[in-house]
Structure 1
Amino acid sequence: MDTGRQPRTTGETVDTWEMVVIHRWFKREFAQMPALVRGVAPGDRDGARYVAEFIEMMASLLHHHHVGEDEMLWPRLLERVGGLDSELVQRMEQQHEVVGKALERVDELLPRWKQGADEAIRNELAEVLEGMSGPLIEHLGEEESKVLPLVSVYITQAEWDALGRNGASGMPKGAKGFDTIGMILQESTPQERAGFLRLLPPPVRLLHKLIGAGIHQRAKARRRQIAA
């Protein structure tokens, strides 16, 4: 560990529960993607288009999540902690690189698969997603166990709230947005659910209750049917 600088805490204690909920969603959905891809029969262009658009959405959301951390979280931690564990930083960077390269390959394969529902492309796409899932789960888990405790004392509440608003800005609109909210809440505790819903604008919260939950349930059922 670099001890060249003195740690500089904020004097606040930030509750980082939202990040754990978001990570849980990413870990679950990306772990299930290989089966979802393999569940599309060769030549089924409608199925390939549906699954490809879902993966495109999730990959975009994960990229937005990581860019927000890179721009709004890591620079402040590096400045204030007084020196992060160099091995931790190196591992996090390596994990980011593995996930980033996999997402680049996914971006290359998706348009081709969407167009023709080719079996060979489908199989390669599933393999790339499968190879990415482990490093992603490891990365997000290490963020929770090693980084979030630092965030709670080295990041202010205002900075944390700004990161949350940045994450919300990348959320899709319409039906995909309600499906996303449903996925995020899928495995939440009652306390997490209530807390997350309070973060939503009142009109979105009302629409989620009236129609959004149903949109998510139908989308989830379709994905499960494909992956079965």
Structure 2
Amino acid sequence: MNRPFDSLPGGHQTMLLAHRAMVRDLGRIALTAEQLSTAPDDARAGALKEYVDKLFQLIEHHHEGEDEFLWPRLRDLGANNEALTLMTNEHEELSKVLHTWHEVSKRLGTDAGAAAELAARTAEVRDHLATHAGDEERELLERLAPALNAKLWKGFTVHMRKTAPGWTLRFMPAWLSSVAGPDERTGVPAAPVARLFRGWLEKTQRAAFGENY
């Protein structure tokens, strides 16, 4: 079942953009780490390590919000149990590879073999995340759809904003905007903030990704 982007609740739109941005960034991290494995660059390695930490926090917060707020409330509303079990199981599996990936990234700049390992680990995380995002997007439109409503999406949005690390308040709008098409701007929260920090985000990403930006 497919629905036009602009027909979805705002929280659902934002989720789709977040998935897209996560997968895109993982691809750029993998390419950059592979290049660093053969052509070390201390400045690039330091910037990449910082960006990996940011992305790790974003993905963790995204999944924690679903595990702590969205899935439990859907269970209370009688949503499809098989679909919810699939979501929680995939989160558990993804969490394992995600934490290993993050730990490897911390060795950039101090361990000659870290860049090559990070490239491989990033590809693994990207595969897991892309699969999970696809499953989640399908389930939200199919088996979980009967229990979803505007009130629940609004509550989820408020929960995510209240529990987000402070630095994400300027990062997230610009980050989501960077992957939104012309007809998807309604999925970007705080549009003025996105415009204000667009240049800062680009500078941050160019420092981390170089030619892979």
TM-score, length basis structure 2: 0.80
Label 1:113 to 1:221 Cα distance change in 2 as closer, same or farther (>3 A).
closer
Label 1:72 to 1:120 Cα distance change in 2 as closer, same or farther (>3 A).
same
Once the two structures are overlaid, the 10-residue window that deviates more, 127-136 or 215-224, is: 215-224
- Note the alpha carbon deviations across 1:170-217, whole angstroms, 9 max, x for none: 2553xx754543321123122321x245x32xxxx44543x4122223
Contact 1:113 1:122 in 2 (8 A): yes
- Provide the C-alpha distance between the structure 2 equivalents of 1:39 and 1:144, rounded to a whole number of angstroms: 33
Label 1:83 to 1:144 Cα distance change in 2 as closer, same or farther (>3 A).
closer
CA RMSD of aligned residues (A): 2.7
Label 1:99 to 1:226 Cα distance change in 2 as closer, same or farther (>3 A).
farther
Q: Which residue of 2 aligns with 1:27?
A: 23
Label 1:226 to 1:51 Cα distance change in 2 as closer, same or farther (>3 A).
farther
- SS across alignment from 1:100: helix
The alpha-carbon deviation at position 123 of structure 1 amounts to 1.2
Contact 2:69 2:156 in 1 (8 A): yes
Contact 2:79 2:147 in 1 (8 A): no
- Provide the C-alpha distance between the structure 2 equivalents of 1:172 and 1:123, rounded to a whole number of angstroms: 32
Q: Which residue of 2 aligns with 1:216?
A: 201
Percentage of matched positions with identical amino acids: 21
The alpha-carbon deviation at position 105 of structure 1 amounts to 1.0
- Provide the C-alpha distance between the structure 2 equivalents of 1:83 and 1:151, rounded to a whole number of angstroms: 6
1:69 aligns with 2:54: no
- SS across alignment from 1:188: coil
- Provide the C-alpha distance between the structure 2 equivalents of 1:119 and 1:110, rounded to a whole number of angstroms: 12
Label 1:82 to 1:227 Cα distance change in 2 as closer, same or farther (>3 A).
closer
From 112, 122, 126, the equivalent of 1:129 is 122
- SS across alignment from 2:23: helix
The alpha-carbon deviation at position 133 of structure 1 amounts to 1.1
Contact 1:180 1:216 in 2 (8 A): no
TM-score, length basis structure 1: 0.75
- Provide the C-alpha distance between the structure 2 equivalents of 1:187 and 1:37, rounded to a whole number of angstroms: 22
Label 1:110 to 1:187 Cα distance change in 2 as closer, same or farther (>3 A).
closer
Label 1:31 to 1:94 Cα distance change in 2 as closer, same or farther (>3 A).
farther
Q: Which residue of 2 aligns with 1:95?
A: 90
- 1:1-228 paired onto structure 2 within 5 Å: 15=9, 16-40=12-36, 43-81=40-78, 83-85=80-82, 88-114=83-109, 116=110, 118-149=111-142, 152-169=145-162, 170=164, 172-173=166-167, 178-193=170-185, 195-197=186-188, 199-200=189-190, 205-209=191-195, 211-227=196-212
The higher radius of gyration belongs to: 1
- Provide the C-alpha distance between the structure 2 equivalents of 1:83 and 1:208, rounded to a whole number of angstroms: 36
